[in-house]
Copies of this chain bind each other. A is one copy, B any other.
Amino acid sequence: MVIRMTERQSGLDRFYSVIPAGGIGSRLWPLSRADAPKFLHDLTGSGHTLLRDTWDRLAPLSGPGRIMVVTGRAHRAAVEAQLPELEDLNVVLESEGKDSSAAIGLAAAILLEREPNVIIGSFAADHVIGNTRRFKRAVIEAVAAADAGYIATLGISPTEPAIGFGYISCGEALTIDGAPSALSVVNFVEKPNLETARRYLSEGSYLWNAGMFIARADRLLDQMAESEPELVAGLRELAAAWDTPQRGAVVDRVWPGLPKIAIDYTVAEPAAAAGKLAVIPGDFDWDDVGDFASIAKLHSAGRNSDLAILGEGARVLADSSTGVVVSQSKRLISLIGVTNIVVVDTDDALLVTTTDNAQRVKAVVDALKLSGRNDVL
């Protein structure tokens, strides 16, 4: 699919997509794990992995030759198998995870070395987006805002008082050519409790923070350098060596010492505080598929009477049961009278919980780590 250029879209010809494909998705254990992270699974029943779906959304915007993937060395083969169009120069491999500031910042720095005016957009490899056309319209506005000098983000119009997401408190409308719906950002707020989430929903000026950032690469790095100058210095050093024979030596020397910090703290929040952040409200369906409750919800389309079944060749016999079953083992799974149940059946580990307890799955993973049970992590 190609976006028709009915009018000149400001900055889109300089746009580069960045997909940080990291993070295991601990709350989706034992489906997601070190050697099979969340982005390598089909959690929507689309027949494609989340990574592939992410690529397919971005390719019409930046072109397939302008999508960079930042991932761990261990996942290189799996990522390349999913994305045969991915060009070698667009693969950035991390020897160890350094969180999102380093991952996105390195991509920004490398692309900036190659193209001084590049605009980058960072989109997680493991989110689900329901209405691609609306997503694209929002990205095009965000690119225009980035071209105008803003650090732009997409905020999702909330459909329920979710407590699993952070929120963006929106301010007045901005006047940006090509970004008519852009708003200023008052601030970012952490995941609220239910009461607060309900208030956000009723007030109408809050959007979900989907963690998508679109900015000129130089502006993004400048913003990051204000709070993390050493990080950005390291990233620039890496970028300068990246397309040279010195890459390996510089990576070995610099990367291990970089601080681990989320981009929310180095870019999003300080940019908002400085009035440099613009948010484009997105009216598309979005979910970070953070836990099994969210998978159940995605598949049930809001109905409580449903049992979602994921897994190729799943064999499930269910009586009076609702929730979600993930089958990887090909075994027959029989459910009787269990509601809001979560059953995840893999070859070496089985999880049984309820959608209400879906957030607690991470604690199991932590307990397994502590007890040295890395064989199932």
Residues of A participating in the B interface, judged by any CB pair closer than 8 Å: 30, 317, 319, 331-338, 341, 343, 345-354, 356-357, 360-361, 363-364, 367-368, 373, 376
Contacts and interface: CB of A to CB of B under 8 A. Distances in A.
B319 A337 contact: no
B352 A334 contact: yes
Given A332-B373, A368-B317, A373-B332, A337 B349 contact: no
A376 B356 CA distance: 32
A357 B336 CA distance: 7
Given A317-B364, A334-B353, A336-B352, 14 more contacts: A30-B334, A319-B363, A331-B348, A331-B349, A331-B350, A333-B349, A334-B350, A334-B351, A336-B363, A337-B356, A337-B357, A338-B357, A343-B350, A345-B350
A245 to B, nearest CB: 46
Contacts of A346: 331
Nearest to A336: B353
B349 A332 contact: yes
A98 B82 CA distance: 58
Given A319-B364, A368-B317, A353 B332 contact: no
Closest 4 CB pairs of A and B: A337-B357, A336-B353, A332-B349, A336-B357
Copies of this chain assembled into the complex: 2
Contacts of A373: 332
A364 B345 CA distance: 19
A336 B353 CA distance: 5
Given A350-B343, A354-B337, A356-B337, A332 B363 contact: no
B350 A336 contact: no
Nearest to A356: B337
Given A336-B360, A367-B317, A376-B332, A350 B353 contact: no
Contacts of A30: 332, 334
B347 A331 contact: yes
Contacts of A349: 331-334
A175 to B, nearest CB: 50
A357 B364 CA distance: 27
A319 B350 contact: no
A330 to B, nearest CB: 9
Nearest to A320: B357
Contacts of A338: 341, 352-354, 357
Question: Which one of A352, A363, A368 has the highest number of Cβ atoms from chain B below 10 Å of its Cβ?
Answer: A352
A285 to B, nearest CB: 28
A335 B333 CA distance: 16
A352 B335 contact: yes
A343 B351 CA distance: 10
Contact of A336 (B334, B336, B364): B364
A333 B341 CA distance: 15
Question: Which one of A334, A367, A373 has the highest number of Cβ atoms from chain B below 10 Å of its Cβ?
Answer: A334
A341 B351 CA distance: 13
Contact of A343 (B352, B356, B367): B352
Contact of A360 (B337, B350, B351): B337
A347 B317 CA distance: 16
